[in-house]
Structure 1
Amino acid sequence: MTSRMKSCVTIALVPSIRTGPWIYWDDLEAGMQKAATLGFDAVELFTASTDAIAPNQLTALGEQYNLAIAAVGTGAGKVMHGLTLTDPDPAVRAKARQFIQDMIEFGAQVQAPAIIGSMQGNAAPTASRQQALDWLAEGLNQLGDYAERQGVPLIYEPLNRYETNLINRLDDGVALLTTLATRNVRLLADLFHMNLEEASLPDSIRSAGTAIGHVHFADSNRRPVGFGHTEMNGIVEALTEIGYGGYISAEAFPWPDPDAAAEQTIRAYQQYFVSSH
């Protein structure tokens, strides 16, 4: 049933990335209270570090507002510290792996997987693309195994060509996953990135199938779904066909403002994933 797919809204606690695609900002409890009032099932967190909030406090807030923690982002490692898994400097790669490992441990305490997006990095001018992919695979193997020991999957996100020159489409992500020794890495299907890279969003979802472990719910312009031109019906059908039962998480710009964006997101979620099925 499509209704098994759960609604989720993003909360960012990193002031230095104010222009980014997250719905709620700054105040974790206020964001969770608003999400609960609107009827969201979960929140996805973007924090500067693992000590942004104590896991027991996060657990308590989740229980208070009846919200799951769907996932935790790792992008602050790149945005704030310049760390990526494909940096030509082995010391930087080691720091990147440690940052992500710490975030995996943080998320696992609230049963939330960590997401690797921007921290995958790029093939640098001083290294070949294949060398960068080898470094990426090395990091994903190590971190996928670590996440498995923590009892959570690891989520890897293909990004559009303007953000990485490594993996841009879901089928390339599937191909990468098949080369890994770990079987604990899942793909993130981000509808915004897919709008730029995929010939057909529904077909790419069907092709990736059970490799998909998380979905980012945003329109073609990265505003909340309904404020762009993404055709959602085929996407919903494809997700239903592959038996996806995870989160539909709004990683979108807070346009025209956070409250309106959240309200539009839950309306779109209910329209496509609840009322029509």
Structure 2
Amino acid sequence: MIKSCVTIALVPEIKTGPWIFWENMETSMAKAADLGFDAIELFTPSADAIEPEILTTLLQKYNLALAAVGTGAGKVIKGLTLTDPNQEIRKQSISFIIDMISFGAQFGAPAIIGSMQGNVVPGVERERALEWLAEGLTILGIYAEARGVTLIYEPLNRYETNLINRLEEGTAFINALATINVKLLADLFHMNIEEASLPESIRAYGTSIGHVHFADSNRRPVGLGHTNITDIAAALREINYQGYVSAEAFPWPNPDEAAKQTIESFKQYFNN
């Protein structure tokens, strides 16, 4: 069963980003529950920013699951990436993500590595940067497996990373790791830039997909751009995708309307 999810970001430094809710966590969760979302995807400044007992209580109160936790604050706040030329920074990056994995695993939720993958920076050979990324993902994938969750790696578009941009590249990369516990995040916004055909890429590399980000071509909520969601939904059904479709989109024109637009689109394409 494909399940609905909405993003909640609690990191002021990324407030201009593509996340639906920005308010108090409980207020956002109450709104998500009222609209009928199955889960939330949470972005926090750190692994200890929220007491697990408080989150447990709220998830139970609003009958929501925690679908995933984001790690982007590690880069935005601390400047950490897995491909930094400085070995100490790479170690700190792994440590930050390990803490996020541990936090999410308490709720059966995977951690997502997006911006913390970094870039191939001037003076570093591409092959070396990919080696660093592989080393980090392997360590983190094995750690996540020991805690009963997968690790989610997100290919980003060319304007956000020069490492891996397409599902084909991502699949080849994770298949070469010394762990089978890393899955890909299929972000429809990034895919709209990089993939020749979103449905065909999903069909071809569906066994690698562990999470989906639900946004239209302009990164507004689905239904407010020109992405052909009908064919994408069909492709996800064909690969028997059973995970979350999570709204990582700009809160346009405002969070409440964006959340409403998202759940209506989800029902249109996945509840029929």
Matched-pair contact (CA < 8 Å) for 1:160–1:197: yes
Secondary structure of the 2:258 match is: helix
Question: Is structure 2 residue 6 aligned with structure 1 residue 14?
Answer: no
Instruction: Give 1:270's aligned residue.
Output: 267
Question: Is structure 2 residue 189 aligned with structure 1 residue 192?
Answer: yes
Instruction: Give 1:239's aligned residue.
Output: 236
Aligned length: 272
2:124 is aligned, of 122, 127, 131, to 127
Distance (whole Å) between structure 1 residues aligned to residue 12 and residue 80 of structure 2: 19
CA drift of 1:57 comes to: 1.1
- How do residues 31-70 of structure 1 correspond to structure 2 at under 5 angstroms? 31-70=28-67
Distance (whole Å) between structure 2 residues aligned to residue 271 and residue 238 of structure 1: 15
Secondary structure of the 1:266 match is: helix
Distance (whole Å) between structure 1 residues aligned to residue 24 and residue 256 of structure 2: 13
- How do residues 158-169 of structure 1 correspond to structure 2 at under 5 angstroms? 158-169=155-166
The code of the aligned residue for 1:224 comes to P
Could you list the runs of 5+ residues in structure 2 that have no partner in the other structure?
none
Could you list the runs of 5+ residues in structure 1 that have no partner in the other structure?
none
Residues 58-108 of structure 1 show CA distances to partners (whole Å, capped at 9, x for unaligned) of 111100000000000000000111100000000000000000000000000
Question: Is structure 2 residue 37 aligned with structure 1 residue 25?
Answer: no
Instruction: Give 1:140's aligned residue.
Output: 137
Distance (whole Å) between structure 2 residues aligned to residue 166 and residue 217 of structure 1: 22
2:211 is aligned, of 214, 218, 238, to 214
Instruction: Give 1:170's aligned residue.
Output: 167
Question: Is structure 2 residue 225 aligned with structure 1 residue 228?
Answer: yes
Distance (whole Å) between structure 1 residues aligned to residue 34 and residue 220 of structure 2: 21
CA drift of 1:37 comes to: 0.2
Instruction: Give 2:256's aligned residue.
Output: 259
Normalization by structure 2: what TM-score?
A: 0.99
CA drift of 1:52 comes to: 1.5
Matched-pair contact (CA < 8 Å) for 1:58–1:110: no
Matched-pair contact (CA < 8 Å) for 1:15–1:26: no
Distance (whole Å) between structure 1 residues aligned to residue 215 and residue 150 of structure 2: 23
Residues 145-193 of structure 1 show CA distances to partners (whole Å, capped at 9, x for unaligned) of 0000111000000000000000000010000011101000000000000
The code of the aligned residue for 1:241 comes to E
Runs of 4+ in 1 over 2 A off after TM superposition: none
Distance (whole Å) between structure 2 residues aligned to residue 224 and residue 173 of structure 1: 25
CA drift of 1:110 comes to: 1.1
Secondary structure of the 1:188 match is: strand
The code of the aligned residue for 1:56 comes to E
Secondary structure of the 1:25 match is: coil
